[in-house]
Structures are given as structure tokens and as C-alpha cells.
Structure 1
Amino acid sequence: MSEEIHTLLETHDNTFLYQLLDRMRQDCAYYLSFGGRHNKYLWAGNPDAQILYMKAIWTHFKEGEKPEWLTMEDIEGFETKMKEDLKDASISG
């Protein structure tokens, strides 16, 4: 997957990457609420890949270019909530 991420980062400009990151942020919020935690609502197809891509895109931006509307702490918050959900599902399933 790291080659896919590298290709994504190298073949798209920052405008596209900002838009993708925002879409992924919205996907996470929907996944955790009205989306019923269904992977089909995540751009990357599953929580682990989604977070991996989001972190890679976010860190790809240089200082001063990083989005003000999404911090690494926000991404890690999504990661924690999504992992809690996966853990809860495996216990009850």
C-alpha cells in the first residue's frame, strides 16, 4: 500500500490532496455516525487504510501548508474512535 500512497502523493497537486483529505474527513465522521460503521462509506474501504492515507496526505504538506481545519490530533481521534468500534464489534460478534 505504501507504493499506492506514494503514487497518489506524487501524481496529484495540493489542491486535489486537500479536497481528498476533506472528503476522507467527512467519510470518517459519517462512518462514525449515520453510516452505521459500514466500510463502504470510507474512501479507502476500511478504517486502517483510511487513517493510513489521511496521515500520509497530512504529513505530505509542508509547514504552513497543512490544513487548519484538520490536525494530526483530529486524525488520531478518528483512529481511536474507529478502533474502539472495531473492538466493540468483535466482542459482541
Structure 2
Amino acid sequence: KEVEVARLQKEISAEVNRKIGEHQREFFLKEQLKVIQQELGLTKDDRSADLEQFEQRLTGKVLPPQAQKRIDEEMNKLSILETGSPEYAVTRN
């Protein structure tokens, strides 16, 4: 009976390791693809996409100088911050 339990644990462990390996490989390949696409200019990172979207929304709008200055400051700030940071999310919204 102990031999059977040990065999079963070994099988389960092997299956878990196989699945983890597959997920790691898939994650690695997806990250490589993202980097390659960005290098080729095929995709934009989140920051570039956000900045472009805001610029498009502002195109053709006439704003008071103080508002334009504040928007410029926030856009500059957004271009520097990491997209995963809480401050980025606050600034973006």
C-alpha cells in the first residue's frame, strides 16, 4: 500500500511539474513576442497608447492657458511613471 501511495505521489508530482513547465514556457514566449513586436513598432506599450489617446481627445480643443499648462504637466508626468504604479493609475484617470 505504501508503494502505491509513493507511486501515485510521484505521478502527481511529475504531472504538476510538467504543467508548470508548460506555463512558464508559454509565459516566456508571450513576453518575447511582446518585446519583438514593440521593437518592430508593431504594437505600442500601454503608456504610449494612453498618451496617444489623450492627445487625440484634446486635438482641436481650445483650452485656457492654465488648463493647457496643467494638462501638459500631467502628460509629462504620465510619460515618466511606470504603468503599474498606483500614481500612474491616478494620473491617468
Give the TM-score of the pair, scaled to structure 1: 0.29
Higher helix residue share: 2
Compare relative contact order (CA 8 Å, sep 6+) and give the higher one, 1 or 2: 1
Determine which structure has more spread, i.e. the larger CA radius of gyration: 2
Give the TM-score of the pair, scaled to structure 2: 0.29
